[in-house]
Structure 1
Amino acid sequence: MLLAYLDEVGESGAFISRKHKHFNTSPGFGYAGFVIPDSNAREFGAIFTKEKRILFSKEFVSAANQGAWEIKGASVFRSKTPTYAPQNIRVFQNLCRQLIRLDGRLFYYVDEKPKGTPKQVSLDQDLVERRAMEEVLNRVCTAADARGENVMFMIDAINEDQRSKRLPNMYAHILGRAADKPEMRRAVEPPMHIDSELSASIQFADWVAAVIARAVEYQLLGNDDYQWVGEALWSQHSKIFTKESKLHFLTDRSIDDLHTWDLLKRQRPLKTPGSIIADPETAQKMERLFQASRSQKKP
């Protein structure tokens, strides 16, 4: 059986720009995390806990409750992380290598949000959340079916009002879709909500969601501060994601959605259509050729 640990990417409210006074949180909304065989989940959780406590040893030692101590991904991965905390990236890279070794994969599904005030875009936050979660359920069940495995979903805890509202929708979606899509029968239960303080795996899902959020911002907003995400993970790009992972553009776009490791590419089809720079390796080779040609032209 597979275990899928997930956390939210961004938030479901309206978005205009990063500089807007009110609507500035995130250009997309969805979920990200990882899937792993249940037999390997405990080992990976132990690896994550050890690495986290070493990386943030000062914070851990001073924590009032070390057994329930966590550090959020939003604090671990920032725009200047490569400069001021490159060790955070190195630890995340190693955790991804360990995940792959244990037959796990990262997963993401994110919808681009239309820009505008709630009134301008006729915002229905419940609908935004429900549609994203339905796609997550569909895609993770498809991934599980391809491996001949059942799957259980674990999501970072939300408040009771949200949980009671969302759970029936998720349950109805799984049952309703199973009649035509047998892969939905791979879901053992509708998603369970778990307090991240009590689950190392949910904490890692939060780190993954933070990294994916930065990659999404790089793609949707053209924010060069987060180019480092693709650079950091590119060496593992061919194995790191389930093939069902996806960044879904608005339907009126004339470009294809981004799948799996396309999210890590330096090329941004939304911002730079027709760009020939496809990935960090190609970009670095072109830069070396450019610099070599310049030096040859000097007298």
Structure 2
Amino acid sequence: MLLAYIDEIGQTGAFVSPTHARFSDSPAFGYGGFVIPAEAAREFGAYFNKQKRTLFKNEIPEGTDPNRWEKKGSDLLFARVSDDRPQNLRVFRSLISKLDALNGKLFYYAAEKPCGTPKETNTGPREFEAREENAMRETLNRLARHADSGKQQIMVMMDQINEKSRKQRLPVMYAHILGRATEHEDMRRIVEPPMHIDSSLSANIQFADWVCALVKRSIEYQLVPTSRYSWIPKETQLLRDKEIFTFESKLHLFHRAVDDICHSRILLEYRPVIDPLHTSTMNEENRKNLSESGKLHSVNKLEQPTNHAKAP
């Protein structure tokens, strides 16, 4: 059996820019985290707690249970982390290596939001609720498909939310799983609707928050020309080399003329939304400049066919 630990990527509300006074959170919303064989979940959680206690030993208040103390992903992977606290990235990469050794995978699904204020995009609470429900449905679909590819059952766990929101979400998720299972066999791989767990009690939920922080920053790098996270491609080479994301992971773009960004491609230096380059139509001077900068390799890697069809 597989266990999936997920958390939210961004917020459902409007987005204008990272510097906007009100609508600055994220250009996309969705869910992310990781999937791991059930028999390896405890070992990974123990490793996470050990690394967290060591890395932040000077920040954990005296008398506090270090296992319950949380370091939020937003504080772990801040804009200048590559220069000011590279040890955060070193530990994060060690966790990825451990997850890979235990046959785990990172996962994300997020949908780009229309850029603009609620008034400019004609969106409000109803649209924000629909955005959340659609992201959850897609997340469950893709986790089920991943489990089905390995002929395994899967249980989904996510960070605890308030009781009102939980009661609103649960019937929707349950109805989706049961309804879709009548036509899609893979949905039967999901044992129960997502269970909500207090993150202070679960090291694995805490790590899912860290994964979401990475994905959120990668999405900003891909979609915002002035992104603060230009360190993403350099510092995530390990993740790309290991193909650590599930094949079903995807950033769904909103009314773009380019394909959606799937699995580890979200970490590439080349940004198809911002830099729509095509090596087949480049003149020799541009090809030479890109080759010298190292960017041409990323473009070629993006354009190379794989053994799989494009992630749905």
TM-score by length of 1: 0.90
Verify the 8 A CA contact 2:73 2:211 in the aligned structure 1.
Answer: yes
**Counterpart AA for 1:90:** R
**Counterpart AA for 1:240:** I
Verify the 8 A CA contact 1:63 1:69 in the aligned structure 2.
Answer: no
- Compute the displacement of 1:118 (Å): 1.8
RMSD over aligned Cα atoms: 1.9
- Compute the displacement of 1:282 (Å): 4.8
1:85 aligned onto 2:85:
yes
**Counterpart AA for 1:80:** R
Select which of 133, 136, 141 maps to 2:139: 136
| Count of residues in correspondence between the two structures | 284
Paired residue for 1:239?
A: 243
Select which of 210, 225, 232 maps to 2:213: 210
**Counterpart AA for 1:114:** P
**Counterpart AA for 2:229:** Y
DSSP 3-state at the match of 1:226: coil
Q: Find the aligned partners of 1:283 and 1:64 in 2 and give their Cα distance.
A: 49
After superposition, what is the alpha-carbon deviation per residue over 1:196-222, rounded to whole angstroms, capped at 9, x for unaligned? 000000000000000111000000112
Q: Find the aligned partners of 1:160 and 1:142 in 2 and give their Cα distance.
A: 29
Paired residue for 1:179?
A: 182
- Compute the displacement of 1:63 (Å): 5.5
Paired residue for 1:116?
A: 116
Q: Find the aligned partners of 1:19 and 1:283 in 2 and give their Cα distance.
A: 31
Query: Which consecutive unaligned segments of at least 5 residues does structure 1 have?
Result: 287-299
DSSP 3-state at the match of 1:60: coil
1:16 aligned onto 2:16:
yes
Alignment of 1:139-178 (within 5 A): 139-178=142-181
Verify the 8 A CA contact 2:269 2:295 in the aligned structure 1.
Answer: no
TM-score by length of 2: 0.87
- Compute the displacement of 1:98 (Å): 0.4
**Counterpart AA for 1:200:** A
1:257 aligned onto 2:260:
yes
DSSP 3-state at the match of 2:58: helix
Query: Which consecutive unaligned segments of at least 5 residues does structure 2 have?
Result: 280-289, 300-312
Paired residue for 2:306?
A: none
DSSP 3-state at the match of 1:11: coil
DSSP 3-state at the match of 2:186: helix
Paired residue for 2:106?
A: 106
- Compute the displacement of 1:52 (Å): 0.4
**Counterpart AA for 1:122:** N
Verify the 8 A CA contact 1:33 1:107 in the aligned structure 2.
Answer: yes
- Compute the displacement of 1:122 (Å): 3.0
Aligned residues with identical type, % of pairs:
48
